[in-house]
Amino acid sequence: MARYVDGFLLAVPKRKIEKYRSIARRAGRIWKEHGALEYRECVADDLQPKPAAAFLRGVRLKRGEVVFFSWIVYSSRAHRDRVNARVMKDPRILRMGKEEMPFDMKRMAYGGFKVLVDA
């Protein structure tokens, strides 16, 4: 079965992880309610300096921050577009958009990906 993934890479100050977790839990419920198949938020646990350099540079990681790698799974790009259109109109997301985010959105990297292997 084909899949499509929106992937995100961002840096969160360690002191703001719980706030980020709260926002991510709410967002995950909303995405799933609107049809996303999976919603994952993962915090870096093992980023060795050399192999992980791209992750660290990609978000311009600063002292006291940790990298998050997150993704949302859909059945296709068209499905992603439909789900995201509904999510972006959801009043709960609109309210969240007015909250101060616990990370610098300018340093977030994201994109849509076609799944090549789904083992």
Domains: count for the chain: 1
Q: Is residue 119 part of a domain?
A: no
Q: Is residue 97 part of a domain?
A: yes
How does pLDDT run across 60-96, given as a tens digit for each residue?
A: 889 999 999 999 999 999 999 999 999 999 999 999 9
Domain that holds residue 85: 4-114
Q: Is residue 26 part of a domain?
A: yes
Q: Is residue 80 part of a domain?
A: yes
CB atoms within 10 A of CB 109: 11
Mean pLDDT throughout 5-15?
96
Q: What is the C-alpha separation between 34 and 99, in angstroms, rounded?
A: 21
CATH number of the domain enclosing 87: 3.30.70.100
pTM for the whole structure? 0.90
